[in-house]
Amino acid sequence: MRDQYFISKIWRLNGWSIFLLLLLMVLSGCQAAEPPLSPAATAFKKEVQECLDRLCQGVVGAIVKGDVAALNETLKHIEPEALKLCRMCPFRIGILDKNGETMTVYPFKAEAMGYYAQYEGVAQTLKNRQINQQRLYLQDGSQIYLIFLPLLHDKDLVGIMVLSLSAKDAHDRWGLTEKEFQDINFNIKR
């Protein structure tokens, strides 16, 4: 009889422990998905997301067809309209196929053509199909920010749109620091 009393006490203690543990797990899962952004990061994110939304609308069909001429024509017509949202945006747009090979760059720059699947941002985007970003150093020591947007057609990854801009331009235009750029989660819409 005494053993049953002792077992029931332990069970009540463990029951409360389990309840408290579950409560802690639930409460920790209810935190904000993204920490508050600085005003500079918020403005940058808003303008970039608006540009990305407009830019990706017309390019998926051309990528599926593998029609680089149509892709260039689409970017030529869409880009001025999309970038009206962010006047004087210093972006360069690259389109990669689903293997990480450059299909086109707008405005065109021959040095930007190549195979980029080994780059961390491209590899992550190919793997997880989410928007990723990365900071790179150029040979002259300057920094560029890259934003990788997966392009989907019927839930299949058909390519990646890459927005590139210099860190200096981002700082001059938005007051954006490297840490602020790295802290932005473009997968969370606000």
Q: What is the pLDDT of residues 42-58, one digit of tens each?
A: 988 988 888 777 777 77
**What pLDDT score was predicted for residue 181?**
92
Q: How far is the C-alpha of 154 from the C-alpha of 70, rounded, in Å? A: 20
Query: CB–CB of 126/157 below 8 Å?
Result: yes
AA letter at 45: K
Residue ranges in the chain whose pLDDT is less than 50: 11, 16, 19-24, 26-32, 85
Query: CB–CB of 101/95 below 8 Å?
Result: no
Query: Could you tell me which CATH number the domain at 39-183 has?
Result: 3.30.450.20
**What pLDDT score was predicted for residue 71?**
86
**What pLDDT score was predicted for residue 24?**
46
- What is the Cα gyration radius of the chain? 23
**What pLDDT score was predicted for residue 107?**
79
Q: Whole-model pTM?
A: 0.75
**What pLDDT score was predicted for residue 23?**
43
AA letter at 14: N
Length of the chain: 190
**What pLDDT score was predicted for residue 27?**
47
**What pLDDT score was predicted for residue 131?**
92
**What pLDDT score was predicted for residue 176?**
92
Q: Domain spans of the chain?
A: 39-183
CB atoms within 10 A of CB 55: 24
Q: How far is the C-alpha of 117 from the C-alpha of 188, rounded, in Å? A: 25
